[in-house]
Amino acid sequence: MVSALIERRLERLEQVSGGDECPRCANTQVIIDCSGNINVVKDQARLTAEASRRFYEEEQPHGQCPACGNFRHKVVVGWGPRQ
């Protein structure tokens, strides 16, 4: 359920922000979980842990794509007991 909610929110963000034409950025999501694990999903396929880490590190320190120069949108989604 949480996964579907996150997917819907990310799809909406992509619709609002417009489409990326960069082959590296288009249809790509970088997901960092609460433990700091980095996952990259490209065209609905998850990259390996090593490829995800490399992809993420290439954009550091400011989240900027080395291919097109666009900045990645950062969305923080938290879940847990409401307080």
Q: pLDDT tens-digit profile of 47-65?
A: 999 999 999 999 998 889 9
pLDDT score at 73: 82
Listed in sequence order, the DSSP H helices in the chain are 2-17, 49-58
Residue that wins the pLDDT comparison between 67 and 18: 67
> How far apart, in whole angstroms, are the C-alpha atoms of residue 14 and residue 55?
19
- Does this model's pTM top 0.75? My answer is no
* pLDDT > 70? residue 35: yes
Q: Is 31 helix (H, G, I), strand (E, B) or coil?
A: strand
pLDDT score at 17: 64
